[in-house]
């Protein structure tokens, strides 16, 4: 499956005008949006920890991911994204592929 199939959206922009994270539909249920940050400042500014249910988006706020790629088609995030404790997906985004 491709990340582009999960309605991805960039999260808040940092001071350089670049995205700080990404949200997308959960590959497991395809109804709940999941979100992660790769910008350390955005992560530290976030009020929650662990998995934070913000209504529209479940933010995975227990770590900062390492990002490569400039668009949804080439995005890679490490380590894996684990929202399984909330009944959602645990997996990887690698070169825009959901695994």
pLDDT more than 70, % of the chain: 78
What Å distances lie between residue 24 and 15, 52, 67, 76, CA to CA?
A: 23, 15, 15, 14
Q: Are 81 and 58 in contact (CB under 8 A)?
A: no
So where are the chain's domains? 3-98
In angstroms, how far apart are the furthest CA atoms of the chain? 35
Contact 7, 1 (CB under 8 A): no
- The per-residue pLDDT for range 46-91, each reduced to its tens digit, is 554 445 555 677 777 667 899 999 999 999 999 999 999 888 999 9
- Give the global pTM: 0.83
């Amino acid at each position: 499956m491709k990340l582009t199939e999960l309605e991805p959206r960039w999260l808040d922009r940092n001071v350089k005008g670049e995205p700080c994270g990404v949200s997308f539909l959960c590959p497991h249920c395809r109804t709940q949006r999941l979100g992660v940050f790769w910008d350390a400042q955005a992560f530290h500014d976030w009020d929650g920890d662990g998995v934070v249910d913000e209504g529209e988006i479940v933010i995975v706020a227990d770590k900062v991911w390492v990002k490569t790629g400039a668009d949804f088609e080439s995005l890679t995030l490490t380590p894996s994204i684990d929202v399984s404790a909330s009944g959602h997906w645990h997996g990887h985004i690698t070169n825009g592929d959901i695994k």
